[in-house]
Structure 1
Amino acid sequence: MVDSEDNFTGPSEEDPQRVAETLWVRIRWTFQLLVQLIGVLLLVYLLVIILKAPPRRDLPDSHWWNDGPLYRLRDVRVFSDTQDLRGVERRMDYLKQLKVNGLLIGPIHEAPPNNALSLRFEQISSDLGTMNQFKSLISTAHKKGISVVLDLTPNYQGSTGPWFSNDSITIVAEKLKSALVFWMDQGVKGFLFSGTDLVSNSVPSLWTDIRNIIQNRTRSRPGRRVLMGLSEFSSVDHVSSLLSSSGVDLLLSPLLSSGSGGFAGPAEVLDSVQTLCASHSQLNLAWSLGGAEVHLASAVGPALVRLYQLLLLTLPGTPVFNYGDEVGLMDQGTEPPQMLWDPETETDLNGTLQVEWAERRSSLSFFRSVAALRVKERPLLFGDFLPLSNSSSLLSYVRVSNRGARYLAAFNWGSEEAELVQAGRAELPQQVQVVASTDTSLSDGEVELGALRIGPQQAMLLRFNIK
């Protein structure tokens, strides 16, 4: 009798494979779901961080002259042994080491004193160099990342005013317009004019033409050129008004050279900065002290050179230095002093000169270190200016942006040691890092802020972070 049930023959060869494939599909889908879940959780976490973070401000619409110090050389003959434009070109590596972003040079054009008819804007004075030398200087400067700004003040050697007389302003301004195009074709990145007050008020239509030629971008000149003015007025209200009415990109003035002691101290600095920052973008502010005719060391004294170097390099705006301010060059008589270059050997220097050169090297090293810090740190370039303390001898402020490190700059003009800040300030941490100090006995490193004191006629720059 035959059994009606099928005989059992065991699993087929295909069954294990089918089971394995099913298991693998399940594992793969489970893994994909886990990955997606982790991705969603990460996204939620990032959104929470973004929502809790303070709003990030966009970088300001800055230009090249906002990104580093400017270096002013009015008389090219005093800058090198050759006493001409070739000598200036040979020092471009030196200027690059100072983190200089722009060289303000001249005037160098032909301008017989007090003679408007003999004015030649497009011709270089023969005792200063040649056009080929100037073109070579421009080329070398651009390779080093340095823009050249030309002082085209018309009557720079005369005594009847920088623009001759009122009767000649219109004639001179008309003559100037074609010269601006000529020099921009040679690679000049901007212009400086003395007597901005007089020209912008006396011939406003011509001044507008001058502004448009310099400041407007064209297809052939896509980069922005700087228009700089120079005012002799030391009133902060006048400087503020002229900044608005003239439309210059930067305005040099003797604001910081007009303090109660002959130069700016805590009160004058704070008043100037707060007044101008309240009405103008810091991108339009420029700070200088000695000016073209007086050097920093002569204006404030050798002991305060590094204090004012630190001040100019940490204020909101563009610092402008006269040649030699980085080494404490002093004026002697009425003629501009010859630039001091570090001797290759000290074997011929007596003890007094060796001490002097040690001080100059110290000033130069300090200038380089702070300038290098300024050009790379956003708070020092574009950060807000927050005063901390101000007295008859002490000034301190914080430069801060919404991200990264913050910098506290402190200056003691007094003859006695001063307490930097009161301990326990909520907006300041207990520990700060010393990154620059005019006091060579104070080494870099972390210090207790509440216990920190600043010595007489000393200044320091501190760095800290707020979580």
Structure 2
Amino acid sequence: MTARPWWQSSVLYQIYPWSFQDSDGDGIGDLRGIATRLDYLVDLGVHAIWLSPIFPSPMADFGYDVAEYCDIDRRFGTLADFDALLASAHARGLKLLLDFVPNHSSDQHPWFVESRSSRDSPKRDWYIWRDPAADGGPPNNWISDFGGPAWTYDARTEQYYSHAFLKEQPDLNWRNPELRAAMLDVLRFWFARGVDGFRIDVLWHIVKHADFPDNPINPGWDPAMGEMHRVFQLHSTDQPEVHDIAADMRAIADAFGREGDDRVLIGEIYLPVERLMRYYGLAGEGVHLPFNFQLIDAAWDARSLARMIAEYEAALPPGGWPNWVLGNHDRPRSATKRGPAQARVAAMLLLTLRGTPTLYYGDELGMTDGVIPPDRVRDPRELREPGLGLGRDPVRTPMPWDDSPHAGFTRGEPWLPLGGDWRERNVAAEADDPHSMLALHRALLSLRRAIPALAVGAIRLLEAEGDVLAYEREQDGERIVVALNLGHDAAPVALPAGQPILSTLRGPLPSSAPSVLRPDEGLILKVDASA
């Protein structure tokens, strides 16, 4: 394991800074707050933390509209606070990753202010400007991911600018060499400061077709899907030129890395598997981990999951390392989608598959989507397309630490309401319960650290029937079998001889491999050497 990059045997933990821990009573989480909770993360057993954006921003999209790439938003603290957090994390053996937002900036970024000032501005071409169509409307039919045209008219210069998201998030023009150099310098700035890597926001979006043709109409579009799906994003995303940019980013990361202390790049890419694999690069010159989001929306069916795992593993290029995600700041929480019992099974799946898993803050507690009253909605996506269930506020509610006022998250009024069950489902309550979701995560993460087969071993799917998904992990002759009952009834299972070492359910472990899994049970078995 020591010869491998650290991120291959690691578990990543995503922190949404707004919601993790507030230190100054303004109701918004901050860097000093995160620093006070590092020991919790060490005890949990994760290896690295990824912070969603913390850069100066007007917060039209909660930090994904960056107004300055090389500083810290005062809501979260200062560069000195960041340096202190980084040093504290490293002192505890934790890596720290930042969120790089390369597709767009804020419309208040000085670059865009200058670009917008005149058609003759030296930075005009740092963003994507086009003349109106013949009828005076937008240049093409591209649609923002938040609904409405992906173009906004600027009356002063009589052109439209492109924005894949809000109009306050103008798209950067990565075809311009000066812009490209400036953005790559952002990576160098933070790497030089000591960060261990980046999650790269909407990587597949950052280059658009040079001729800006219309996107194909989606004949199966339903308004309930959200307006962005009215067209197929054929020409506005996933262009061939993006891979050269990813290679440049990779070269910078590799240049700052050294043996035993690699830097890592993780790409946010929502694409089918065969297109996702291209982001590894032809010879390992792409991102290290193109995020694999399949589990988030997967049908909770054992046979479907087995096929998905097999097809994903088979698609990996030589040297490509797998990764898995159950939830994030944009998608419904696992416990909401699957219920509390199967959320435990899903956690065992996530943390025992081959590859690098990412945990979303609070999922280790079994947090569910919060209920946001209409007058407390903050998410621009929900405000623009209300009633479709696309809002992201419910998965961004504050972390519940205890049953004190405001759940120990803040002394003030939280920026979003707490989840409905925070008095019972919080860190303090679950820490004292050996059968809690938190206890299960700690046990799973401890096993990953103790058993190389679970961290970096090979995977082999085992024959199973009905609601049972089973697979073996193996490393240097050590064999571990994971058997998951995805159903609510007892299920027969044929397991090799061995010793059960962890179940998702209460009660004593059987002395040998059982022939039946209990309803909603996940089981980890250490296979006998003679089996």
TM range (shorter): 0.7 to 0.9
Give the deviation of 1:120 after TM superposition: 1.3
Aligned ranges 1:7-22 → 2 under 5 Å: none
State the TM-score, normalizing by the size of structure 2.
0.66
Secondary structure of 1:120's aligned partner? coil
Amino acid at match of 2:492: E
Distance 2:437 2:50 in 1: 22
Which is higher, the Rg of structure 1 or of structure 2? 1
* Superposed CA RMSD: 3.1
Structure 2 residue 132 is the aligned partner of structure 1 residue 72: no
Indicate the structure whose relative CO is greater, using CA pairs within 8 Å and at least 6 residues apart: 2
Give the deviation of 1:189 after TM superposition: 0.4
1:378 paired residue number: 452
Cα distance change of structure 1 residues 240 and 137 upon mapping to structure 2, 3 Å threshold: same
Correspondent of 2:184 among 177, 181, 188 = 177
Correspondent of 2:354 among 316, 325, 328 = 316
Aligned ranges 1:142-221 → 2 under 5 Å: 142-154=90-102, 155=104, 160-161=163-164, 168-170=173-175, 172-199=179-206, 201-217=240-256
Q: Answer whether contact 2:452 2:475 (CA < 8 A) is retained.
A: yes
Distance 2:493 2:522 in 1: 10
Secondary structure of 2:185's aligned partner? helix
Secondary structure of 1:216's aligned partner? helix
Give the deviation of 1:328 after TM superposition: 0.9
1:431-451 CA deviation, whole Å, 9 max, x = no partner? Answer: x2221111102x13522x3x5
Give the deviation of 1:370 after TM superposition: 1.1
Secondary structure of 1:373's aligned partner? helix
Correspondent of 2:486 among 413, 428, 436 = 413
Structure 2 residue 263 is the aligned partner of structure 1 residue 228: no
Distance 1:153 1:309 in 2: 29
Distance 1:415 1:445 in 2: 20
1:127 paired residue number: 75
Distance 2:305 2:275 in 1: 16
> Structure 2: which 5+ residue stretches go unaligned?
24-28, 108-145, 147-162, 207-238, 373-391, 406-420
Secondary structure of 2:484's aligned partner? strand
2:529 paired residue number: 466
Cα distance change of structure 1 residues 375 and 364 upon mapping to structure 2, 3 Å threshold: same
Distance 2:205 2:53 in 1: 19
Amino acid at match of 1:105: L
Q: Answer whether contact 2:204 2:242 (CA < 8 A) is retained.
A: no
Secondary structure of 2:240's aligned partner? helix
Distance 1:118 1:344 in 2: 34
> Structure 1: which 5+ residue stretches go unaligned?
1-58, 346-351, 423-427
1:291-323 CA deviation, whole Å, 9 max, x = no partner? Answer: 222332223222222111111110000110100
Cα distance change of structure 1 residues 359 and 137 upon mapping to structure 2, 3 Å threshold: closer
1:104-147 CA deviation, whole Å, 9 max, x = no partner? Answer: 11211124459999731101112121111100000000011000
Give the deviation of 1:401 after TM superposition: 1.9
Cα distance change of structure 1 residues 62 and 353 upon mapping to structure 2, 3 Å threshold: closer
Give the deviation of 1:167 after TM superposition: 5.9
Correspondent of 1:363 among 437, 440, 453 = 437
Give the deviation of 1:60 after TM superposition: 8.3
Distance 2:361 2:423 in 1: 22
Secondary structure of 1:124's aligned partner? coil
1:439 paired residue number: 505
Amino acid at match of 2:339: G
Cα distance change of structure 1 residues 299 and 280 upon mapping to structure 2, 3 Å threshold: farther
Give the deviation of 1:453 after TM superposition: 1.2
Give the deviation of 1:97 after TM superposition: 0.9
Answer 1 or 2: which has greater helix percent: 1
Distance 2:90 2:445 in 1: 19
1:143-176 CA deviation, whole Å, 9 max, x = no partner? Answer: 1100001111144889533795666234554322
2:86 paired residue number: 138
Q: Answer whether contact 1:435 1:463 (CA < 8 A) is retained.
A: yes
Give the deviation of 1:281 after TM superposition: 5.9
Amino acid at match of 2:90: H
1:391-428 CA deviation, whole Å, 9 max, x = no partner? Answer: 44210111112333x21111111121101217xxxxx2
Give the deviation of 1:229 after TM superposition: 0.3
Distance 1:222 1:378 in 2: 17
Secondary structure of 1:380's aligned partner? helix
Distance 2:318 2:465 in 1: 26
Correspondent of 2:401 among 341, 365, 385 = 341
Secondary structure of 1:460's aligned partner? strand
State the TM-score, normalizing by the size of structure 1.
0.75
Cα distance change of structure 1 residues 323 and 247 upon mapping to structure 2, 3 Å threshold: same
Cα distance change of structure 1 residues 268 and 187 upon mapping to structure 2, 3 Å threshold: farther
Amino acid at match of 2:33: G
Secondary structure of 1:121's aligned partner? coil
Secondary structure of 2:506's aligned partner? coil
Secondary structure of 1:168's aligned partner? coil
Distance 1:117 1:145 in 2: 31
Q: Answer whether contact 1:81 1:87 (CA < 8 A) is retained.
A: yes
